[in-house]
Amino acid sequence: MADELDCLTCGVCCRTGKDGTILIPDEDLLRWRRIGRPDLAEAVQPGHFGLVAFATDEDGACVHLGTELSPHACQIYAIRGTTCREFERGSKQCLEFRREYGVDPAP
């Protein structure tokens, strides 16, 4: 099932419409500063649980979402956050997001 899902025609988990939900652990902030991308550590907003989260645009999408190739692609894919890397395509939450945002029809 997961193999059939195409993130590049979806992007919903990067576009939840809810501020402060895609959390960024401290190690990501340190990593970005260490590799010369302090701008990423600064493009954040307050998140849940006392952490920071990816800043979102007026549509609720992560500010790093969208490239010339696809509106659903990540601009910083190779160095994206831990939360992004750990989000599992085909997981219960992925499938819920897809249904909630109309990518898949409701059952």
Binding site for ligand SF4 (CB under 6 A): 5, 7, 10-14, 22, 54, 62, 64-65, 74, 76, 80-81, 84, 87, 89, 94, 97-98
Q: Tell me how far, at minimum, the Cβ of 100 lies from ligand SF4, in Å.
A: 10
Q: Which helix (H) or strand (E) segment is 52 a member of? A: strand 52-54
Nearest residue (CB) to ligand SF4, 34 versus 92: 92
Q: Are 58 and 26 in contact (CB under 8 A)?
A: no
State the minimum distance, in angstroms, from the CB of residue 50 to ligand SF4: 19
Q: Exposed, middle or buried, 6 (CB in 10 Å: 0-12/13-18/19+)?
A: exposed
